[in-house]
Chain A
Amino acid sequence: QKEVEQDPGPLSVPEGAIVSLNCTYSNSAFQYFMWYRQYSRKGPELLMYTYSSGNKEDGRFTAQVDKSSKYISLFIRDSQPSDSATYLCALYNFNKFYFGSGTKLNVKP
């Protein structure tokens, strides 16, 4: 079983839609959770960082961690064509990072 699972998509939505991106993980010891955004032909860019459970909001982006379900989510409100990218979740514990496979998002104008 992989440490972290992520639906690869692609996910296609109309501009203005609310997007929900999700990952599940297997090890309840994880405490640090991240979302990266990767545009085509670019390196991953740290988008959101969350410690432990709960929600964190930054503009149109909300990261949510449900440790009881071992489930993390990234919500994008009022999605824009510029949000079209691949989104990778990442978990960190004991000096080791685990990355999801990435979900490709396409926001259509």
Chain B
Amino acid sequence: SAVISQKPSRDICQRGTSLTIQCQVDSQVTMMFWYRQQPGQSLTLIATANQGSEATYESGFVIDKFPISRPNLTFSTLTVSNMSPEDSSIYLCSAQLATSTDTQYFGPGTRLTVL
């Protein structure tokens, strides 16, 4: 298994501002992912964070709105840009480990509220 930490754990932000969420994994990682989860809903994949190259975004998500960095194998950031109340959600990072590439481990999530 792995320990995945996220910062911040929660935040309340004003409309039009940006928030950067950090994700750190304590094990060797192959893939890292960012998800959004609305209250009571399942997981929606935002993008796959690629180390050393641009992230791969899912349909409906764009780089200008959700820029992602992954400067090394175990660390990634997701920025939620120009926020609106519709961006209020839980943002989760996850990782596939080098030792078990057919499962994912999740961070604790970042609860974002946009006023």
- Which listed residue (B4, B42, B92, B106) contacts A102, Cβ 8 A? B42
Which of B1, B4, B40, B102 counts the most A-chain CB atoms under 10 A from its CB?
B102
* Number of A interface residues in the complex (CB < 8 A): 21
Which segment of B11-19, B75-83, B107-115 sits at the interface?
B107-115
Question: Interface extent on B, as a size class?
Answer: 10 to 19
Interface residues in A37-63 (C-beta closer than 8 Å to B): 41-46, 49, 51
Query: Do B43 and A46 touch across chains, with their CB atoms under 8 A apart?
Result: no
Give the distance in Å from the alpha carbon of A90 to the alpha carbon of B41 in the complex: 15
A92 interface residue per 8 A CB criterion: yes
Query: Do A99 and B42 touch across chains, with their CB atoms under 8 A apart?
Result: yes
Q: List 28 A-B contacts (CB under 8 A).
A: A32-B103, A36-B106, A42-B108, A43-B4, A43-B92, A43-B108, A43-B109, A44-B43, A44-B106, A45-B106, A46-B103, A46-B104, A46-B105, A49-B103, A88-B42, A88-B43, A90-B104, A92-B103, A95-B31, A97-B33, A97-B45, A97-B104, A99-B42, A100-B42, A101-B41, A101-B42, A102-B42, A104-B40
